[in-house]
Amino acid sequence: MALITCKECGKEISDQAASCPHCGAPVKAASVAPAQQQQMNYQQQVAAQQKSQQKSMMKTMLFSTLISTALSFVSRLFYRRW
C-alpha cells in the first residue's frame, strides 16, 4: 500500500482507495493506467511519425519529378529557339 497524490485536490491518499476520500475523485483508474497509456501514446506517436515521413517522402518525390519535367520542357524550348 502506498500513498499517492490526488489529481483533483492534491492531498495524499491511499492507492488502494477506489476514490479520493477528500474530494471523491476516482483513483484506481488513474493510478493503474498511466504506464499503459504512455506506451499507447508512444506507439501512436511512432505511427504518426512514420505517416508524416511517408508523406514528406511522397512530396519530395513529386517535387523532384515536377522539377525534372519542367527542366526537360525548358531545355526543349531552349533547343528549339537556338
- For 30, other C-beta atoms within 10 Å of its C-beta total 16
- Round to whole Å and give the CA distance between 48 and 42: 10
- Sequence-ordered strand ranges (E) for the chain: 3-5, 12-14
Q: What is the nearest approach in angstroms of Zn ion to the Cβ of residue 41?
A: 25
**8 forms part of the interface with Zn ion (CB under 5 A):** yes
Closer CB to Zn ion, 7 or 59, in the complex = 7
Among the listed ranges 25-33, 35-43, 65-73, 74-82, the one in contact with Zn ion (CB under 5 A) is 25-33
3-state secondary structure of 25: coil
Among 12, 16, 22, 42, binds Zn ion (CB under 5 A): 22
Does residue 15 belong to the site contacting Zn ion (CB under 5 A)? Answer: no
Q: Does 6 bind Zn ion (CB under 5 A)?
A: yes
DSSP for 69-81 reads HHHHHHHHHHHHH
> Which residues are near Zn ion by CB under 5 A?
6, 8-9, 20, 22-23, 25
